Amino acid sequence: MLISQFLILGAILFCIGVYGVIARKNAVLVLMSIELILNSVNINLLAFALRNGSADGHTFALYIIAVAAAEVGVGLAMVLLIYRNRRSIGLDELSEMRG
Amino acid sequence: MIAVELFTAQNIGFAVISLLMIVAALRVVTTSNVVHAALWLVVVLSGAAAQYVLLAAEFVAVTQVLVYIGAVMVLFLFGTMLTRARIGTERDLNNSYRLLGIPVAGLLFAAMAIAIVSSFGDEELPGEPRLIGVPEISDQIFGPYLLPFWALSFVLLAAIIGAIVLARKD
């Protein structure tokens, strides 16, 4: 196995996630795209952990999984609050902070 | 020599799983049904767990299945259920400037691919890798990476309290 095949897979998933963040208006779908991005980072970390024979990459991958779980929890709570106040979770309608 | 080693079992497994992951990821960002997007995301996350096994990281793969597919997906489905009146195809999920995303993602991928290929080219992963077990990972977490671990526990605590405060009706 080449190392670059895993890195290219990570890059493809990252770019699909970036496209999702740009293109989607629904807040839940934007959170899903962020999950895609975090998973591509994990694939990269584990590929380098295998290449270097060290456990650092595994540790950081576990930390990233924990941070992603916390992020989804807070993000969905915020989406729920926005929906309760505005009856919509379209991100382009949230323009109150515009100066 | 490369051609001889191209069709090993690991490479075929990698190709099949990564094709499945890429198709599923494209469906996540293009489908017009939020529940379908969540289910395609399950396919991507399972494929990522399989890739972790291929990369000799069993513990991370098991954690991925438990945390992501078990817990995060339930959260997503709850979020979909609680914020939408009906389950089904829905228009108006995309921004009006979504076509802008294609060149952005394409340029980003081109830059990353050039960097990866020029840096690592055809470097092989070690054929007989040093296997990393759970004791070594825990030695790392509770040894040199203890401070990030503490920070992470505060992040989780803050996230739990924050989610309760944000989502409860008062």
A40-85: pLDDT as tens digits: 999 999 999 999 888 899 999 999 999 999 999 888 888 888 888 8
What distance in Å separates the CA atoms of residue A73 and residue B72, rounded to the nearest whole number?
8
pLDDT at site B118:
92
Contact A14, A37 (CB under 8 A): yes
B72 found inside a domain:
yes
What's phi and psi for B57, nearest 5 deg?
-125, 70
Chain B residues 102-161 with a CB less than 8 Å from chain A:
102, 104-106, 108-109, 112-113, 116-117, 120-126, 129-130, 132, 136-137, 139-141, 145, 148-149, 152, 155-156, 158-160
Q: Which of A10, A1, A8, A4 is nearest to A61 (CA)?
A: A10
What distance in Å separates the CA atoms of residue A42 and residue A34, rounded to the nearest whole number?
13
pLDDT at site B170:
64
pLDDT at site B6:
72
- Domains of chain A, residue spans: 3-90
Shared domain check, B156 and B83: no
pLDDT at site B1:
46
B126 found inside a domain:
no
> Where are the alpha helices (H) located in A1-99, listed in sequence order?
3-23, 27-52, 56-86
Contact B31, B54 (CB under 8 A): no
- Number of C-beta neighbours around residue B145 at 10 A: 19
The token pair that represents A96 in the structure block? 């109150």
Architecture of domain A3-90: Orthogonal Bundle (1.10)
Shared domain check, B78 and B15: yes
Task: Look up residue B56 and give its amino acid.
Answer: A
CA B3, B6, B7, B8 dihedral sign is positive
B127 found inside a domain:
no
pTM, to two decimals: 0.89
Shared domain check, B86 and B150: no
Residues of chain B scoring pLDDT < 50: 1
**For position B38, which CATH number holds?**
1.20.120.1200
pLDDT at site B87:
59
Judge: A23–B101 Cβ closer than 8 Å, yes or no: yes
Shared domain check, B15 and B83: yes
Which residue segment(s) compose the domain that B55 sits in? 2-90
The token pair that represents A38 in the structure block? 């975090």
Provide the domain count of chain B: 2
